Amino acid sequence: MSALERAASTPPPDPRTLAAGGAGRVESVPSLERAAPTPAPQSHGRTASVFTPAPEALGRGLPLDIAVLRYPRIANFTDADPLASEPDVRLRYVTNAREWGEPDAVLLPGSKNTAEDLAFLRASGLEAKLLSYGERGGRIVGICGGYQMLGRRLLDPDGVESAVRETTGLGLLPTETTFAADKRTERVAGSAVGGFLGSGAEWPLAGYEIHMGRTTVGADRAAQPFRLRLEREPEGAAESHSDGAMSADGRVWGTYVHDIFRNDGLRRAWLDDIRGDKGLPPSDAVQSFAERRERAFDRLADHARRHLDMARIYRIIHKEAVSDDERDSD
């Protein structure tokens, strides 16, 4: 069995089980055994992550249905959290063709191994679903590894990411990606240029890049919808660069910018375009995801304070001794 065949047959992990066993490992540390564990916070009656409800609870009955492709080596899937926070969005994770449904938009998130996750999409039937959906004018977004998959070819001549030297992409964008040993890790800021999302507006954005591939776009430079600079550089700095690619009708686009949907105006404009597809008016509310995230952290901190011996934890942090008598007193 080849590496790609093994990859394609590997089921993706369930994000809800990734931390399983963590409480037991914490309890095995003598200094922490009486300070933990604490019961998980609840959302809609189910165990929740900090920002997002459990997948079964993500907005049944809401007008916008957004599917996130969950492949085995999914990375940075928190890029979808701001979408889940919107009051008109049902966000769901799709693992196979049977779960496809009738999405209003599809998100391809990052990947720790793009070629092998692309093989999984093909073996699972999701590639066929995605290509058919794209032919019918579906809205598709790829971020980082997902953006690379949307292109025509992925080249790995030095075996940086996998043993597969060349992989045919999904062909939904006019791009080609070559993997290199050096990893780009930068915080970036900039804007979505005029024409993105069917308007002349330039939506401000900020986020970060972390990738090993270098992606080139066809001769039509207008197909690149984002103009970025390093966040540490002043606005208007000469050292700016184009990012991403977009189909001629704007319904398929990709970018290397993680956290792109944390930009409230851009996120809401994209969702309102989807609402327009369904004959719905634009939403009259733009939520601040940053404020929602801070409230979520505050709730998590309050929950921890109610259930943990914080005085003991602070003493451990500051390397103060915890006596045997105190340890046994619990």
Regions of the chain with pLDDT less than 70? 1-61, 194-195, 198-200, 219-222, 233-239, 289-290, 293, 320-330
Cβ-based neighbours of 237, under 8 Å, separated by 6 or more: 229, 230
CATH of the domain at 311: 3.40.50.880
**CA gap 137, 198 in Å, rounded:** 15
Q: How many domains does the chain have?
A: 1
The answer to whether 43 and 53 are in contact (CB under 8 A) is: yes
What residues act catalytically?
144, 258
The closest alpha carbon to 39, from 327, 295, 293, 308, belongs to: 308
Q: How distant is the alpha carbon of residue 239 from its chain centre? A: 27
Cα atoms found within 13 Å of the Cα of residue 238, Cβ hemisphere only: 0
The closest alpha carbon to 241, from 216, 272, 260, belongs to: 216
* Confidence (pLDDT) at 46: 31
Length of the chain: 330
pLDDT (tens digit per residue) in 101-114: 999 999 999 999 99
pLDDT (tens digit per residue) in 7-55: 455 555 554 454 555 555 555 555 555 555 556 555 433 333 444 544 4
User: The domain containing residue 187 runs over which residues?
Assistant: 3-328
**CA gap 110, 258 in Å, rounded:** 9
* Confidence (pLDDT) at 137: 96
